[in-house]
Amino acid sequence: MLRSVAHSFSQAAEIERGKRPPAVIGCRHMNADRPNSPVLATIGEIQMGEPESTAGYRTPPANLEAEQALLGAILVNNDAANRVTDFLAPEHFQEPGHQRIYAAALKLIERGQIANPVTLKYFFDQDEALAEVGGAQYLARLAGAAVTVINAQHYGRTIFDLALRRGLIEIGETMVNEAYVADVDVEAGAQIEAAEQNLFNLAEHGQSDRGLVSFDTILASSIDMAAAAFQRDGQMIGVSSGLVDLDRKLGGLHPSDLIILAGRPAMGKSALAANIAFHAAHNIKRKRLETGQEKVVDGAVVAFFSLEMSAEQLATRLLAEQARITSEKIRRGEITSDEFSRLVTASQAIEQAPLYIDDTPALTVSALRTRARRLKRQHDLGLVVVDYLQLLRSSGRGENRVQEISEITQGLKALAKELNVPVLALSQLSRQVEAREDKRPLLSDLRESGSIEQDADVVMFVYREEYYHERKQPEENTPDHLKWQEQMDRIHGIAEVIIGKQRHGPTGTVRMQFEREFTKFSNLEVAGRYPDER
């Protein structure tokens, strides 16, 4: 397989010195002695042109000289490997023999040993792929052909780019072949999602990790974030929730954070998430940069994955909140002409909000990530909301529900870091809350709490004492009923958001106003501050 490799060292050296342009080396014909082994065409053969009978066959893109030059540079000076290991993996080499040489060299270097033709000789004495060109002596020839170490990174980038191109060809061929297969169990939409997932995986594969970053670089980034927060009205780094006291506790919803909002049924967690999402989208502000591009400086483009409610139900809730008409009246059509006018006015005011709703049931984490990535690429996504966590499906096959939830929370946290956006995920609480006298939730009340509590940056609970107290109504016209009514008057319309965990700041309780008929959370009227005042 590597017979022609031995003839191309002089060409590689000429390319390095700038005397000869690089040529693509690829599989051209089959070896008569080894019918299953492709033989690499030499540069001269490619330049002379292919016979007409093979003109329709296109070879996968590769650059054998670049692979030789990089391996030679590494064998001469192991420091060259440090310039490419961040993004270049063994599988990025087109030639299998080169893959094994690169992998073996990296193993020795990682152990603190020297990787050169002498130390690698033992590993490749019996290598069949190198036997055609002299076995382990091929290593010495690689090192002898190396001209300089300076261009190692350029060679690595060339190899990596060509590997991506071969990956694109493979994905395209797979996509075409699967599209021709008429499988009734596989919808075309599922094939599109699979193709998108493969493309994103290819784009991420081999990309440079952030690695170690000097403290002055990180410090400069922190100062930039602080300056941006100072210049904003809310004076915070994250996306504003629209609730003053909550923003003061959290500093907004921070990029790359996984925020869990949990509560028992009927506590209003979906309403609170919808309020936060709409406020972020409706109050978005953009700034045009010198490059002509627009940058979001306040608010956010929002993706709302509603696995429980339909998109129409969610839109009706938001419309009811803005028009201050109960959603029941809207659904039944029991509205006056004045209320209908308010409904139209409210819809015109909010229709331009960049809020995207996906109500696909039983969505997998991988599909959610694919759609979020697409929105990030197309519209600069700034906030992801998932309602709710337990209705998502893991991409793998967890042995039990706890393991499946762990895969889901890890996937959501990875999405938050990858896209650098806050991910607000709703979660149910276990029934053990109902068995306690004080029904305020605790971290241990989270369903499958271990993984959720561990992976989340912030855990919040929605609690309304009014919900539980009104179910304790005693018989009327009794002293107990009088006490019950006094307590109801005191807690009516009051909701609590209990911050049980926060990595960046304090925990505690935030009180706010909840209008049940409009499913709306707003700032609590305290010390002269009215509910909708910011």
**Tens of pLDDT along the chain (534 residues)?**
454 444 444 444 444 444 444 433 333 333 333 333 333 333 333 333 444 444 456 788 988 888 888 888 888 888 888 888 878 888 889 888 888 888 888 888 888 888 888 888 877 777 666 666 666 778 888 888 776 667 788 888 899 889 889 988 888 888 888 888 767 667 777 777 778 777 766 766 645 444 555 556 656 666 666 666 555 554 567 788 888 888 888 888 888 889 999 888 888 888 889 889 888 888 888 777 766 677 777 788 889 998 888 888 888 888 888 888 887 777 777 778 888 888 888 888 788 888 888 888 878 887 788 788 888 888 888 899 998 888 888 766 556 777 888 888 888 898 898 888 999 999 888 887 777 877 888 888 776 666 787 888 999 999 888 888 777 777 787 887 788 888 787 888 888 899 988 888 888 888 888 888 787 888 876 544 444 443
Which CATH superfamily does the domain covering 3-204 fall into?
A: DNAb Helicase; Chain A (1.10.860.10)
Token pair belonging to 187 = 């919808």
**Is residue 72 classed as helix, strand or coil in its secondary structure?**
helix
The model's pLDDT over 433-451, given as tens digits with 9 standing for 90+, comes to 777 877 888 888 776 666 7
The model's pLDDT over 39-48, given as tens digits with 9 standing for 90+, comes to 333 333 333 3
In this structure, which CATH number among 3.40.50.12780, 3.40.50.12500, 3.40.50.300, 3.30.70.260 belongs to the domain 235-461? 3.40.50.300
DSSP 431: G
Domain ranges of the chain: 3-204, 235-461
The answer for residues whose C-beta is within 8 angstroms of residue 297's C-beta and 6 or more apart is 228, 232, 285, 286, 287
> Which spans in 333-456 are helix H?
337-350, 365-379, 401-419, 449-455
Residue 81 CA to residue 73 CA, distance in Å, equals 8
pTM equals: 0.61
> In what helix (H) or strand (E) does residue 153 lie, and over which residues does it extend?
helix 152-180
**Amino acid letter, residue 423:** V
Token pair belonging to 201 = 């995986």
Per the CB < 8 A criterion, the answer to whether 270 and 387 are in contact is yes
Same fold across 3-204 and 235-461: no
CA atoms within 13 A on the CB side of 261: 28
